[in-house]
Structures are given as C-alpha cells and as structure tokens.
Amino acid sequence: MSNFKPLRVGLIGLGKMGQNHLRVLSMLKTVELIFVYDTLQDHMNSCAEKYNVKPSIDLMADLLLVDAVIIATPTSTHFDYIKIVSDHVKNIFVEKPLTDSTSTTEEIKKLVESKKINIQVGFIERYNPAVIELRKILKHSNRVLNVDFTRTNKLSNRIQDVDVIIDLMIHDIDLALFLNGDVENVFAYGTNEENMISFASAIIKHKTGVFSRITASRVTEKRIRQISATCEDMYIDCNLLKKEILINKQSVLQSYEYMSLASVEEAVNVPTQEALLSEMICFVNNCLHKKLDSITPGIHAALDSIKVAKQIQYLIKGEKYEMWN
C-alpha cells in the first residue's frame, strides 16, 4: 500500500492565467487543490463550482491547510501576496514577473532566503517544447553569433498595470539570459506615451560574446512569438506559437540538370506538450521531492530579468539607472 500524499495546493488569482492554472492543476493526480481565492467573489464561486473546489472566504485560515500556493494575480499585487503567503507556506509559485521593480524583487529575495522558501517564477516559455529543442540545438552548434526575439500582440484590456516590457518583453529577457548567459551591456529604444511604453526594442551584449536583439510590441496587429538564431554553421527559425523549428545549413553544392542546390532547410521534430502542464509538473516535483532541474527559474532568474527590464525602461525614458548596484 502506497504512503504517497499529494501536494496540497491553494490558488490565488482567477484571471485568465489563474483559470489556466486551475484547469491544469485539476489534471494532476499528484495535487490536491484545497482552495481557490479571488477578490471577485462571484467569479471565484463560479470557478470553484466548475472544478469542484472550495472557494476561500478566509484566506489566512486556508493558508494553514496547504503545502504550496500559486499566485496568479496582477503583477502589482505580487509583492504583498508573497509576503502574506510566506508567513504560512514554504513552497510558492508566482506568475512572471516576480514583482514590477528591482527593489521589491531584492526584498523578496532576502525574505525567501531567510525563511528558506522554495519559490519558482512563471517564465513559462522555458517549458515551451520548441524552446527546449532550440536550447539543445544551440548547445551543439558552432559559435552562436546573434539571437533575435520578437513578441508582438495588440493591447490587451486585461493587462493595465504594466507596460510592454514587464508584460511581454520580460519573457524574452529571461530566455535571452537563459540561452545566452549573463549581461555585459544593454542598449534600447522605444515609444513612451503618457509614461507607458507600448513598443520596445533592445540589444543585449552578453558576456559570452553573443548578442540578443529583443523586440516587444502591444501596438502590432499580428501576434508573433518568434526566435531566430544566427550561428556560424546554421540559421535557426523557431516559431513558439506553432512549436516549429526550421534549420538552414550550407550544403555541398549539388548540381542538377535544372538547378544548383547550395543550401538545405530541415524541420526539427518538436514534441507535443503543453508548457503550463510541464511547468506545473516541475513545480510539484520540486515541492514533493526537492528535485531541481536546469530549466527551473527561481529567485535569481527573477532578479536578473527585472534588472535588465528596468534598465531598458530607463533607457527608453531617458533616465539614469545603475543596473548592477
């Protein structure tokens, strides 16, 4: 007879991302979802009824009943919720970014380290199967010269508390650091209207010698999630939406009666898997078995990404910012 006990989880925040977490958590046999909480009570009750889970009417009391908490509230509320939850729970998952400033992220870092809290940040693109395959390809390629990241979307009414850098670009800032290493320098430009940046482009020079060019837009009429990498021996196109990777390589010149073939394009087999499901499985395994892998973004990834994001914001706004103080 097995003595296995599922991870008791509470979910705070039932917006679009929170509902996705609710759907995925309900699929996991390793999880017992104890409660859901949202400040909109009717909405909370509706979601709770749909998934047959308890709606929380006393958050403080319910925090005593769980092993882990997932925070999927607006970014501007993360700091306060993390402080509340950390008084009761040792395992916390927070949607990206951890907070919206360097100072609050540093404060959370001190908090979780002093309390020995296991914290994971929702940089979901690390779990995109196309990114996982791309990382393998880059590791086995000859020298990587440059990686372009493009992420565009028309302005969403559900995201009103942060600009395009914190909303969209932060994903690719994290991927750039994850794939290409630590930062040496940052250059940036963009549009800043009414103190809200809706278009931003940045170049990161990494200490590895690789360049990352990142573009994010909330004013583009087409939804794009694209990574393109220039290596000495290949060019890689990675479509994060379609989960497709194409590799272009030089070929031995082949002559046919009707043409000469100078290069070839190859499609990479990308496994079919949901990134959020993989992310939650990773979090649960970490909580239950303390098993960390090379993908998991923790407090250091959160701090590194927000430092770069704030540097880009300040450069676009023409303000001075000392990133690495």
Note the pLDDT of residue 143: 93
User: How do 219-231 and 144-154 pair as beta strands?
Assistant: antiparallel
Taking Cα atoms as reference points, which of 162, 160, 188 lies closest to residue 173? 188
**Mean pLDDT throughout 235-256?**
84
- Structure tokens of 245? 């990777």
Give the confidence band of 324 by pLDDT, cuts at 50, 70, 90: very low
Q: What is the pLDDT of residues 201-215, one digit of tens each?
A: 999 999 999 999 999
pLDDT tens, residue by residue, 177-198: 999 999 999 999 999 888 899 9
The pLDDT of residue 259: 62
Look up the pTM and report it.
Answer: 0.92
Mean pLDDT of 267-279: 95
Name the band, by pLDDT with cuts 50, 70 and 90, for residue 235.
very high
149 neighbors 125 (Cβ within 8 angstroms) = no
Q: What percent of the chain has pLDDT over 90?
A: 84
The confidence band for 253, taking pLDDT boundaries of 50, 70 and 90, is low
What's the pLDDT score for residue 293?
80
Q: Can you give the pLDDT at residue 154? A: 81
Residue 181 · residue 301 · CB < 8 Å: no
Mean pLDDT of 259-284: 87
Residue 243: which of 132, 85, 97 has the closest Cα? 132
Helix (H, G, I), strand (E, B) or coil at 249: strand
Dihedral, CA of residue 195, residue 198, residue 201 and residue 204, to nearest 10: 60
| Confidence at residue 156, expressed as pLDDT on a 0 to 100 scale | 64
Residue 257 pLDDT more than 90? no
Higher pLDDT, 260 or 274: 274
The position carrying tokens 């770069």 is 308
**In this structure, which amino acid lies at residue 14?**
L
Q: What percent of the chain has pLDDT over 70?
A: 92
Strands (E), the chain: 7-12, 31-37, 54-55, 68-71, 91-95, 118-122, 144-154, 183-193, 196-206, 211-217, 219-231, 235-239, 244-255, 260-268
Condensed to tens digits (0 to 9), the pLDDT of residues 97-109 reads: 999 999 999 999 9
| pLDDT band at 260; cut points 50, 70, 90 | low
Contact in structure between 195 and 159 (CB atoms under 8 Å) = no
CB 249 within 8 A of CB 263: yes
List, for residues 277-321, the tens digit of each pLDDT value.
Answer: 999 999 999 999 887 788 999 999 999 999 999 999 999 998 765
Site of tokens 């706004």: 317
pLDDT value of residue 325: 43
Tell me the domains of the chain and their CATH numbers: 7-124+278-297 (3.40.50.720), 126-273+304-317 (3.30.360.10)
If you average pLDDT over residues 156-167, what whole number do you get?
78
Q: What is the pLDDT of residues 41-53, one digit of tens each?
A: 999 999 999 999 9
Per-position b or e across 1-29, b if 16+ CB within 10 A of its CB? eeeeeebbbbbbbbbebbbbbbebbeebe
d(CA 1, CA 3): 7
d(CA 174, CA 179): 9
The pLDDT value recorded for residue 152 is 96
